[in-house]
Structure 1
Amino acid sequence: MTELYPAQFYQRTDKGIVKCDLCPHNCRISSNKTGICQVRKNIKGKLYSLNYGQVSSLGIDPVEKKPLYHFHPQKRVLSLGSWGCNMSCTFCQNWQISQQKPELREFKPDEIVETALKKDIGLIAYTYSEPTVFYEYMLETAKIASEKGLKNILVSNGFINQKPLEKLIPFLDAANIDLKAFNQNFYQKECGGSLEPVKRTIEILAHEVHLEITNLIITELNDNLSEIEELFKWLAQINRQIPLHLSRYHPAYKLNKPPTDLEIMKKAYHLAKKHLDHVYLGNAIIENTADTYCNKCGEKLIKRKAYQVKNMLENNKCPECGTELYGEF
Structure 2
Amino acid sequence: MPTCNVCYRKCMISEGKNGFCGVRGCRNGKIVPLNYGRITSIALDPIEKKPLNRFMPGAMILSVGSYGCNLRCPFCQNYEISWSDGAYEFEKEAEYVSPERLAELADRYKTSGNIGVAFTYNEPLIGYEFVRDTARLVHDRGMKNVLVSNGMASLDVLEEIIPYIDAMNIDLKGFSDSFYSDVLLGNRRMVMDFIAEAVKHCHVEITTLIIPGENDSDEEITEISKWIASLKDKSGNAIGKKVPLHISRFFPRFKMTDRPPTDVDRIYHLADIARKNLDFVYTGNC
TM-score, structure 2 length as denominator?
0.92
Q: Paired residue for 1:110, among 91, 100, 104?
A: 100
Question: Secondary structure in 1 aligned to 2:6?
Answer: coil
Tell me the CA shift for residue 51 of structure 1. Answer: 0.5
SS at match of 1:19: coil
Aligned to 1:29, what secondary structure does the other structure show? Answer: coil
Cα deviation for residue 43 of structure 1 reads 2.3
The whole-number CA distance in structure 2 between the counterparts of 1:186 and 1:75 is 35
1:67 partner letter? P
Partner letter of residue 171 of structure 1?
Y
Between the aligned partners of 1:236 and 1:48, the Cα distance in structure 2 is: 37
Partner SS, residue 274 of structure 2: helix
Q: Deviations over 1:21-72 (max 9, x none)?
A: 1112111112221101000111242222111110010100000000000011
- 3-state SS of the aligned residue for 2:242? coil
**Where does residue 274 of structure 2 map in the other structure?**
272
Corresponding residue number in structure 2 for 1:320: none
1:196 aligns with 2:160: no
CA distance in 2, matches of 1:122, 1:86: 29
* Native 8 Å contact 2:154 2:190 kept in 1: yes
The residue number in structure 1 matching 2:177 is 184
Distance in 2, matches of 1:135 and 1:24, equals 15
Q: Which residue number in structure 1 is paired with residue 235 of structure 2? A: none
Distance in 2 (alpha carbons) for counterparts of 1:119 and 1:208: 27
Question: Do structure 1's residue 68 and structure 2's residue 83 form an aligned pair?
Answer: no
Q: What is the correspondence of 1:213-228 to structure 2 with a 5 Å cutoff? A: 213-228=206-221
Hey, what's the Cα distance between the residues in 2 that align with 1:190 and 1:150? 38
The question of whether the paired residues in 1 share the 8 Å contact of 2:75 and 2:253 is answered with: yes
- Number of the residue aligned with 2:139: 146
Partner of 1:255: 256
1:210 paired residue among 195, 199, 203? 203
Structure number with larger C-alpha Rg: 1
Show the counterpart of 1:123.
Answer: 116
Check if 1:53 corresponds to 2:55: no
> In structure 2, how many angstroms separate the alpha carbons of the residues matched to 1:163 and 1:21?
8
**Distance across 2 between alignment mates of 1:123 and 1:49:** 23
| Structure-1 residue corresponding to 2:243 | 242
- Alignment pair present for 1:41 and 2:25: yes
| DSSP-derived class of the 2:3 partner | strand
Where does 1:82-97 land on structure 2 (aligned, <5 Å)?
Answer: 82-97=66-81
Determine helix, strand or coil for the equivalent of 1:28: coil
Q: Map residues 303-318 of structure 1 onto 2, 5 A cutoff.
A: none
Using structure 1 for the length normalisation, give the TM-score: 0.80
Which one-letter code corresponds to 2:273 in the other structure? L
- The one of 282, 290, 306 equivalent to 2:284 is 282
Cα displacement string for residues 205-256 of structure 1 (whole angstroms, at most 9, x for unaligned residues): 1111001000000010111111221001100111101011000000111101
Residue from 13, 26, 32 that aligns with 2:10: 26
Q: Provide the secondary structure at the position in 2 that maps to 1:111.
A: helix
- 2:94 aligned partner, one-letter code: L
Measure how far apart 1:189 and its partner are: 1.2
Moved over 3 A (4+): 100-103
Is the 2:107–2:116 Cα contact (8 Å) retained in structure 1?
no
259-268 or 243-252, larger mean C-alpha shift: 259-268
How far residue 262 of structure 1 moved from its aligned partner, in angstroms, is: 1.8
- The amino acid of 2:282's aligned partner reads Y
Aligned partners of 1:199 and 1:274: how far apart in 2? 21
Which letter does structure 1 place at the counterpart of 2:145?
Answer: N
Alignment-mate amino acid for residue 71 of structure 2: M
The reply to whether residue 230 of structure 1 matches residue 186 of structure 2 is no
State the AA in 2 paired with 1:249. Answer: F
- Percent identity, aligned pairs only, is 42
Could you tell me whether the CA contact under 8 Å between 2:20 and 2:70 is conserved in 1? Answer: yes
2:164 alignment partner, one of 161, 168, 171: 171
1:106 deviates by: 1.5
CA distance in 2, matches of 1:154, 1:47: 23
Aligned length: 268
Q: 35-44 or 271-280: which moved more?
A: 35-44
**Range that drifts further, 94-103 or 61-70:** 94-103
Distance 1:267 1:198 in 2: 25
Unaligned runs of 5+ in 1: 1-16, 285-329
